[in-house]
Amino acid sequence: NLTKETRVLFLCQATDMTTELYGVTVNEISTLSSYFDQNFLVVDKHGTKYILKIINSEESKNTALLRVQTLAITFLQQHGLPVQTVVPTVTGELMRMKETDCGHGRRSYCVRLMSYLPGNTIAETQLTTQDLYHVGKLIARMDKALQQLESPNLSVLKNDDDIWSLSNTPLVEDYLSVMDGDPLQELIKVAIEQFKSYVRPKISSFREAIIHGDANDRNIIVTPVENGRHVVSGILDFSLLMNGCYVYEVAITIMYLMLKNHSPLDVGGAILAGWESVIQLNDAERDCLFLLVVGRLCQSMVYGLYNAKKYPDNEKYILHTAKNGARLLNKLWKLGKKEVESKWFTDAI
């Protein structure tokens, strides 16, 4: 784990950056969990809260992609979607490259300051079926809006080698050695083979779209309303924004929202019903939904284990999926494609 001295250094650097770049006088600052980046909760002298995001040095190299992500956040905010407001620097920039030493020598990092959205993550909340319906509907509305995004740099969203793209689910095989000795390794191998033989030939029938790519249970914020229900108050983290397919977004959302739900099999139909109230899936997309959900579960578990070994300081956060993922994967596989999809499609009517 990071030493106390290192944590203090990070907080001091973040405080200085916030004041220097944004003219914000920091009253309180604390670190927030993140997969690869440095996130800070900042409170100014008026009590206004912000999120300072320092993007990891590797992803900070791709400034064209970061500019499109920033554009997408601003675009969605202007179209009434519950996303953060990007705060401009004192010189009017929505993102800024800053050279500093975060413990690995001097490197260049992309910095953003964004508004704070109140609420709890879905990972911390039990959602009703009605809540899940509205989540599915909102994610579909977001993706529909994203198709209107205009920029000469949209081509940066197409990355055929991205290991997190569901098109590239078979790339999981290259990382499977991290599961040596785990009985789940064999199940994942079989699932990947089924993906290759069943899903791959149908991908050409999937409709391409710009998608968020990571609508997981920690990237969606909800706030309680009456009768135990919740409304979505925030969609976070556009770092996996990509040129993918509509059905990938549905599968990703279903998978992550099943993880901590007390009735995981009830999630798919509710999300799908909400989604299809905005965008209907076609026959090929529906036919592959189960294996796409399983595919994302395999990706999340295997890449999680790989990254946890690579970044042991952040193991707890990275292995978020692993805790319930093994149980969920076993359950889905035991029930099988026909039974699970039958429930989802019946519930979605």
- E strand or H helix that includes residue 220: strand 220-224
Domain boundaries, the chain: 11-115, 120-346
What CATH architecture does domain 11-115 belong to?
2-Layer Sandwich (3.30)
To the question of domain 120-346 being in CATH 3.30.420.40, the answer is no
Cα 225 to Cα 268: distance, rounded to the nearest angstrom: 23
Cα 349 to Cα 235: distance, rounded to the nearest angstrom: 26
Do 14 and 29 form a contact (C-beta atoms < 8 A)?
Answer: yes
Distance of CA 308 to the CA centre of its chain: 17
- Give pLDDT tens digits along the chain (349 positions): 556 666 787 889 899 999 999 999 999 999 887 767 889 999 999 999 999 999 988 889 999 999 999 999 999 999 999 999 999 999 999 999 998 776 667 888 999 999 999 999 999 999 999 999 999 999 999 999 999 999 999 999 998 899 999 999 999 999 999 999 999 999 999 999 999 999 999 999 999 999 999 999 999 999 999 888 999 999 999 999 999 999 999 999 999 999 989 999 999 999 999 999 999 999 999 999 999 999 999 999 999 999 888 877 767 766 776 778 999 999 999 999 999 999 999 999 8
Helix residue spans in 147-288 (DSSP H): 184-194, 246-258, 267-276, 283-287
Do 77 and 85 form a contact (C-beta atoms < 8 A)?
Answer: yes
Catalytic residues: 214
Amino acid at 348: A
Cα 205 to Cα 285: distance, rounded to the nearest angstrom: 8
Cα 143 to Cα 291: distance, rounded to the nearest angstrom: 21
- Helix, strand, coil shares of the chain, percent, nearest 5, are 55, 15, 30
Two structure tokens written together for 23: 């003219």
Q: How far is CA 219 from CA 98, 120, 149, in A?
A: 25, 10, 21
Answer yes or no: pTM beyond 0.95. no
